[in-house]
Amino acid sequence: MIYTSLIIAIIAFFILTFLNSAVFGAEQNKEQFRNLPNFSDGVFKNESATEFMSKDGSFLKILKEWINKPKDNKPKNIIPIVKTDLINFNPGSELKMIWFGHSSYLIYIEGKKILVDPVFNIASPISIMGKPFQMSYDYSAQDFPEIDILLITHDHYDHLDYQFFKSILSKIKQIVTSKDVEAHLKLWGATENQITSLNWNESSSVGNFNFICLPARHFSGRKFKRSTTLWSSFALKTENYNLYLGGDSGFDTHFEKIGNQYGPFDLAILECGQYGKYWPFIHMTPEETVKASKLLKAKVLMPVHWAKFALSTHSWTEPIERAVLEAKKENVSILTPQIGEPFGLSENQNFSKWWRTG
């Protein structure tokens, strides 16, 4: 009994110690948001009523799925990726992008560099969970040039990496993010003058670019309480381009509204992985991803939110296989670059089925 009590005390000590860690981010008085149309009862709300779990779901059912998940939930081999010299890379005059797996990517556009949701360590506050797949090369903060704009769509661990943020902050000029995510960023060293924080349907000019914060169907949270900070998608309008940066979102009516009001888009970057039958409202299936790109009136679709973490129970390659199949069926132009490979928006690019080697 004494040993049991001692073990419980030790576990409790480590839990409490960890709960005080900066990795969880900041907490603020939410009184300042009480007049916002998408905020009530101390939390932000989706446009449509959204359950985090389906009515037939339960913790035990999800646990059973995880226990019985397929062997190919993670790659059996090291993923071969392209090692691009980011610091000396010359994109030329056209838009170029480099995807780092999951929802992290770097956009070279009109002489500026925009880094979106960079996560390179873990998608969890606990080191034994949320580890990235093993890759042939790992990018780190020292590989990056100065970044003109860092965009953070929401504060989930697979979109906001505390360790990477701290390590790259000295290279970041400006930050654009969703309402109250800035509380975390300030705690971690960002300054008030660096940050532009937006609510849905608000816009701001950062340099020569116009960022429009738009709805998504998801949630947020780095501790136990959900939705205390906002989750968003963004339209990025420049002199020559109109891009949709989707963040995380389940399928809903907002895609058609956004397409009608802000489209057509030259490119829509949309999540297509980490879906599950017990959480159908907060993530899209690949087929829904293709449908959303059509409603957004996007000329080209870039599927993300896969190829780096196993945050659901499906095969790690299932999202892209299904997305490519559906895109072909619906006559949607789709980009499937290798991780680390520079690419543009040309519809005639020849991408290999590189994920089949994993």
Q: Which domains does the chain have, with CATH numbers?
A: 43-357 (3.60.15.10)
Q: Is it the case that residue 13 has pLDDT exceeding 70?
A: no
Whole-angstrom Cα distance, residue 88 to residue 86? Answer: 6
Token pair recorded at residue 83: 């090692």
For residue 301, the 8-state DSSP code is E
Instruction: HSE, CB side, 13 Å, CA atoms: give it for residue 203.
Output: 11
DSSP secondary structure, 93-156, as one string: TS-EEEE-STT-EEEEETTEEEEES---S-SSSSTTSSPPPPBSS---GGG---EEEEEE----
pTM score: 0.93
Q: What is the pLDDT of residue 266?
A: 98
Give the pLDDT confidence of 286-345 residue by residue, as tens digits.
999 999 999 999 999 999 999 999 999 999 999 999 999 999 999 999 999 999 999 999
Whole-angstrom Cα distance, residue 109 to residue 86? Answer: 14
Count other C-beta atoms under 10 Å from residue 261's C-beta: 11
pLDDT band at 6 (very low <50, low <70, confident <90, very high): very low
Q: Is it the case that residue 347 has pLDDT exceeding 80?
A: no
pLDDT band at 10 (very low <50, low <70, confident <90, very high): very low
Give the pLDDT confidence of 56-89 residue by residue, as tens digits.
989 899 889 989 999 999 999 999 999 999 999 9
Whole-angstrom Cα distance, residue 2 to residue 211? Answer: 59
Helices marked H in the chain: 2-19, 59-67, 162-168, 182-187, 254-262, 286-295, 318-329
SS3 of residue 161 by DSSP: coil
Angle between the 286-295 and 318-329 helix axes, to the nearest 10 degrees? 40
